[in-house]
Amino acid sequence: MLLNFYGDTMKKPEAFNVLRMYITNMISNSYQVRPASLLTRLMDAQADGKIRREEMIELCVLLFIGGIETTINIFGS
């Protein structure tokens, strides 16, 4: 599915929900595989009660968007 945040292919709230679903699925898959990653450490923090599951998902969304923003700015320089 093409995510076009600026055109009429998909509205921003819909695109945000698709991103959240993608990350939620990635978290679910990581419970089975447990790779050594930032996501695994966040999952451990959630299991220890340090953060809530919703906070973990929102942090992953923030990091994902921040990575895209950083990449765009690097290529734009």
Contact 23, 60 (CB under 8 A): yes
Q: What is the mean pLDDT of residues 19-32?
A: 84
10: confidence class by pLDDT, cuts 50, 70, 90: low
Tally Cβ neighbours within 10 Å of residue 42: 21
Q: What is the C-alpha to C-alpha distance for residues 24 and 21, in angstroms, rounded to an integer?
A: 5
What is the reported pLDDT for 33?
75
